[in-house]
Structure 1
């Protein structure tokens, strides 16, 4: 099975198409000593994307409390269009489990999955204390 798809955005393991939370271009300043994009930069983009998804659900402040898994599948070349797709896959009273996939797009409009991870966020109040998630909108 190939990790490359043409033109249409990827789907998550649940089968649902999820949100693009961040889309940017990988720049030379973000490269490592081998000339590919530094893994830490990818993780920071994933954390920002996950936080955007979590904030929408929590309707307010959130914080990252864990990265339960992280897999780097392919290097990311400088100049790649990098898209972070997020999907809320579970929640507790205060926490949210967000699956994040990072895909790159080349000039031929082909997408390749390069990284995926499972991030846990918690809703917090103005003092940084845990708070309950608001009810889902009906």
Structure 2
């Protein structure tokens, strides 16, 4: 079914990476019949952890949910797409933005942003203590990319 022209579709982010797609099921609903917010939060945490793990190649844990906004309800059968982008790479931590878009089952091709969040993950050692992210070409590349973006934003 083509997108409905009377319902504007939000564009999917081009500056973030698709890291997860999932369809919520009836077992995931709350008392109001919408998908339980805690289920959505768990999926966001999974999606948010993909890029920090890719950067660090070491054990990472969620240390902060800096921001979490529910914009629209999620329904059974929605096709959820989770887009993540690295916002900051520190000495031990990686902060990620996650945006969640619902493609309504009955209106495929139409996207609605339902959730956005910012989470911070920290690298830990075998004893659970924070450790420095490894100094790898990939880590350096992420830091350089973010530095360039920050410098460009300051010029604007």
Are 1:130 and 2:130 counterparts?
yes
More strand by share: 1
Say which structure is richer in helix: 2
The CA distance in 1 between the partners of 2:90 and 2:101, in whole Å, is 28
CA distance in 1: counterparts of 2:82 and 2:124, whole angstroms: 23
Q: Greater CA radius of gyration, 1 or 2?
A: 2
Equivalent in the alignment of 1:4:
9
Say what the alpha-carbon RMSD is for the aligned residues.
1.8
Sort the Cα spacing of 1:87 and 1:46 in 2 relative to 1 into closer, same or farther, 3 A. Answer: same
Q: Tell me, what secondary structure is at the counterpart of 2:95?
A: strand
TM-score (structure 1 length as normaliser): 0.86
Partner of 2:87: 89
Q: 1:59 maps to what in 2?
A: 57
Q: Which runs of 4+ in 1 moved over 3 A?
A: none
Deviation at 1:119, TM superposition (A): 0.2
Unaligned runs of 5+ in 1: none
State the distance in 2 between where 1:50 and 1:108 align. Answer: 25
Per the normalisation by structure 2, the TM-score is 0.77
- Provide the rounded CA distance (Å) in 2 between the counterparts of 1:110 and 1:132: 42
Residues 76 and 114 in structure 1, CA contact (< 8 A), matched pair in contact too: yes
* Corresponding pairs, count: 130
Q: Structure 2 CA distance, aligned partners of 1:123 and 1:21?
A: 20
